[in-house]
Amino acid sequence: MSDIRQDWSREEIEYLFALPFNDLLFQAQTVHRQNFDPNQVQVSTLLSIKTGACPEDCGYCPQSARYDTGLERERLLPVDEVMKAARLAKEAGSSRFCMGAAWRSPKDRDLDQVVEMVKGVKSLGMESCLTLGMLSEEQTSKLKEAGLDYYNHNLDTSPEFYGSVISTRTYQDRLDTLQNVRDAGINVCSGGILGMGEERKDRVGLLQQLANMEKQPESVPINMLVQVEGTPLHGREEIDHFEFIRAIAVARIMMPASYVRLSAGREEMNDQMQALCFLAGANSIFYGEKLLTTANPGAEHDKALFKRLGINIMSVSEDSRDEVVGDAVQEFSYKACSGGHHH
């Protein structure tokens, strides 16, 4: 097992990003093999349980009530409908079921219904994950009692760039929610979104924040921005694909025991790019046709790609290794918001 460090300096991270591509991938794959089966990927399914009408102004998110993206607003789904989707996900090979709601923070009356969903997913023998926005200590305790395995709350980007993407909540608000989740003993799923117009120094800053937490997130979703017409970030210059793969590799080196999840944006990646991401240390994906509200490759396409690469899908029993290294690649959508950006 690789040593886990929480004292990464910006200079060290910049050094990794600047390595020749082959050297960086070799180093990342070496770390990956010390901690994981290199030919195994954890698969999660994400369902939007409450869509649209979010009061926040996250610039990437089609679910914000402030932008006209043509997204149909939906109320919180009934528990039986969520359970039907969870059963289908399990049949398709998912070991974790993530539920995302477009809220700033859940109201207590809504939380009661979500608690029933968590219990239902657990009864199927699957891991449960939620992304509901900001949580209070009391709400977090309630979800822990219900048996919640993971909570997804992304930092999105560096503290410095954050203000140019979101103004309705602070970076500290996000850190506080993650602290509540950690204190309650729930696994943390937290990552970010690349391609929002940030510079490399912001990708460095994001990974530094994640890796230097008191305990590294068990799951680190790395999203590639899905540009949605009507949102402020639509039309940004797309991130260079090699730069995205570098970020996956650096995340793997810095957070050796975390699951690194290839989240939103896979629809825009060809098979070769995804294969390089797996080589760079990504070992978790979201399965299914949709991530909250943005397109995602179909499960059959993923299975065919895995077959070509000789990759196996991790079963639920193999996925319960929390006591060993913490399980973590799955997170939710950009706050159940970025349309699919695994928050």
Which of 58, 96, 174, 246 is an active site residue? 58
CA distance 185 to 187: 7
Query: Pick the catalytic residue: 61, 169, 203, 252?
Result: 61
Q: Which of 96, 203, 261, 266 is catalytic?
A: 261
Q: Phi, psi at residue 159, to the nearest 5°?
A: -55, -35
Greatest Cα-to-Cα distance within the chain, rounded to the nearest angstrom: 53
Cα–Cα dist 289/267, whole Å = 10
Pairing of strands 187-189, 259-262: unpaired
In this structure, the dihedral spanned by the alpha carbons of residues 27, 33, 38 and 41, taken in order and rounded to 10 degrees, is -100
Q: Which of 96, 169, 189, 266 is catalytic?
A: 189
**Active-site residue, selected from the candidate residues 98, 174, 246, 252:** 98
**Residue 101, amino acid:** A
Q: Judge whether 307 and 164 are in contact, CB under 8 Å.
A: no
Please say if 337 is a catalytic residue.
no
Q: In angstroms, what is the C-alpha Rg of the chain? A: 18
| List 54, 174, 246, 337, catalytic entry | 54
Give dist(CA 340, CA 62) in Å, integer.
Answer: 9
CA–CA gap between residue 127 and residue 111 (Å, rounded): 18
Separation of alpha carbons 89 and 46, rounded Å: 9
- Which of 96, 129, 203, 266 is flagged as catalytic? 129
- Known catalytic residue at 189: yes
Question: Is residue 261 among the annotated active site residues?
Answer: yes
- Give catalytic status of residue 58 as yes or no: yes
Angle at 221 between CA 217 and CA 227, to 5 degrees: 145
Beta-carbon count within 10 A of 173 CB: 16
Spatial separation of the C-alpha atoms in residues 141 and 181, rounded to whole Å: 8
Q: What's the CA gap between 100 and 77, in Å, rounded?
A: 11
User: Tokens for 231?
Assistant: 């949102």
CA–CA–CA angle 183, 159, 252 (5° rounding): 70
Active-site residues: which are they? Answer: 54, 58, 61, 98, 129, 189, 261
